[in-house]
Chains A and B, each alone.
Chain A
Amino acid sequence: MSKINVKNKDIAVPGEVLAVGMESFPGIGTYREGENIVASRLGLVQLDGRTIKLILLSGRYIPKRGDTIICKVIDVGFSGWRLETNGPYSAMLSMKDATSQFIARGADLTQFYDLGDQIVCSITNVTSQKLVDVTMKGPGLRKLSGGRIIEVSSNKVPRIIGKQGSMVSMIKDATKCNITVGQNGLVWIDGSPEDELLAITTIRKIEEESHLSGLTDKIKEFLDKNKKTQKTDK
């Protein structure tokens, strides 16, 4: 039997031996060195059957196929747009993937998306050299207007969204804001200024306490309390 040195939700540091023996398997954020399973990143231990993996707590956004992200247009070319992804790599939106409308040869592409526009798009392909292709064809993919964008750690996005989007819909209901969460850690919020502010404080709170358990209840309580004070203020 292999010996496991850690418990669920322990924090692992690079180089730390998590388990000894060939019965356990290394998952994300770990590697095998002889008999040992060793952590290769800073993260929260998760024992998943015989697999030992880490939930990462920090790090920049690295593009992945299928991610829905919020991007800024940084360049308009002949055949498409270059987008900033809030990570080390920029993405390319080609004319073909941007719209189903007919675009005449040599047309001015700024009439669709201009420099500085924020858009929600989905990643269709990432090459080994991290060339990123995105598309605008899909439900919810659009140009953003109004509202504001805040930056959170991309590792915390799953907690902000919650199981089947439970957390983000809770915030939406409580604050009456429109919210779009990009996998790259950019969150678009649109509502009245007070509501936007409450949504932002809530998201910051989730980001800070994302590694604690019982987060959903805590956030529910926080939202209820703050909604009340907002009402009495008025």
Chain B
Amino acid sequence: MAYKERLNGRKFDETRKIEAKAGVIPRADGSAMFKIGNTWAYAAVYGPRNLHPKFLQDPSKGILRCNYNMMPFSSSGDRVRPGSSRRSKEISLVTEKALLPVLDLSEYPNSVVDVFIEFPQTEAGSRCAGICAAAMALADAGLAMKDLVAAVSVGRVDDKLLVDLDYNEEAYEEGPVADIPIAMSPNYGKVTLLQMDGLISKEQLKKVIEMGKKACKDIYEVQKKALKDRYKI
């Protein structure tokens, strides 16, 4: 049976319901919440602050440290063991690399900006939600940025190309599946994260990335509105 329409009734280029808010954690220097469907991300930014151990310090610019963390019962599967894992370390690293191209930390030599991204619950697309939340939190922390970063996962289920896969689509068994998280700077159209899991042809990949870029621009509008609403009169 071919994948004719999406299991969740969405259109092929439609994302799940998105909700975003900035300034959700008062004690942090900057914070944001980003919910896409059942995936909830909270990001808190601390810093720039003093960096120890000293050998990590960079005298030419500040460094960015991201921390991706899923809470123990956040996913529908087994309990996630607390603390870092191979997976969370990788995602922390790619998050960092997705955000660094837009971030300017040259004003803060020898210091660090810490970003903690927590997931109370997840259902596919968590690294993308985390990047969206982190970008908003960094802006909320008053750091210099060229642009925000918006991210979404795109992919293919059977012969259909679609945006923002949920868990059932990722786990579709009756045909080939590809899951491709994309992060980009919406005003420059530059991609800062591109990963893939699964099989897809070159033509399909090109097409699906275009779909992702369009979705990222829509997500950017949501992020922008959330940041503006924080200081609404």
A88 near B108: Cβ-Cβ < 8 Å: yes
Which of B47, B48, B109, B142 sits near A41, CB closer than 8 Å? Answer: B142
Given contacts A88-B49, A212-B233, whether A17 and B187 have CB atoms under 8 Å apart is: yes
Binding stretch for chain A, among B5-13, B143-151, B152-160, B165-173 = B143-151
Chain B: which residue is nearest A209 at the CB level?
B233
Task: Please determine whether B227 and A11 come into contact, CB atoms closer than 8 angstroms.
Answer: yes
A45: min CB distance to chain B, Å: 11
Could you say which interface size class chain B belongs to? 35 or more
Flag whether B122 is at the interface (Cβ < 8 A): no
The one of B48, B108, B109, B185 that contacts A15, using a Cβ cutoff of 8 Å: B185
What sequence of 0s and 1s flags, for each residue 41-73 of chain B, a beta carbon within 8 Å of any chain A beta carbon? 000000111100000000100100000000000
**Minimum C-beta distance from B216 to chain A (A):** 12
Nearest CB in chain A: distance from B63 CB, A: 12
Given contacts A15-B148, A88-B50, A42 and B186 within 8 Å (CB-CB) = no
> Does B111 lie at the interface of the complex (its beta carbon under 8 Å from any beta carbon of A)?
yes
Task: Give the distance in Å from the alpha carbon of A88 to the alpha carbon of B49 in the complex.
Answer: 4
In the complex, A29 Cα to B142 Cα: how many Å? Answer: 10
Known pairs A40-B104, A60-B49, A211-B233; A13 contacts B224 (CB<8 A): yes
Residue of A nearest to B147 (CB): A15
- Chain B residues near A59 (CB-CB < 8 A): 29, 141-143
* A166, CB-defined interface residue at 8 Å: no
The answer to whether A229 has its CB under 8 Å from any CB of chain B is no
B185–A58 touching, CB < 8 Å:
no
Distance between A155 CB and nearest chain B CB, rounded to angstroms: 7
Digit string of B91-119 for contact with A (CB within 8 Å is 1, else 0)? 00000000000101001111100000000
Known: A13-B139, A42-B140. 17 other contacts (CB 8 A): A13-B228, A14-B145, A14-B147, A15-B145, A41-B139, A41-B144, A42-B142, A43-B142, A56-B142, A60-B29, A60-B48, A60-B142, A88-B47, A88-B50, A89-B50, A130-B110, A211-B231
**B residues lining the A interface (CB < 8 Å):** 29-30, 47-50, 59, 62, 102, 104, 107-111, 139-148, 185-187, 223-224, 227-228, 231-233
Residue contacts A-B, CB under 8 angstroms, 11 given: A14-B146, A15-B147, A16-B187, A29-B144, A40-B144, A41-B139, A43-B142, A58-B142, A60-B29, A60-B141, A89-B50
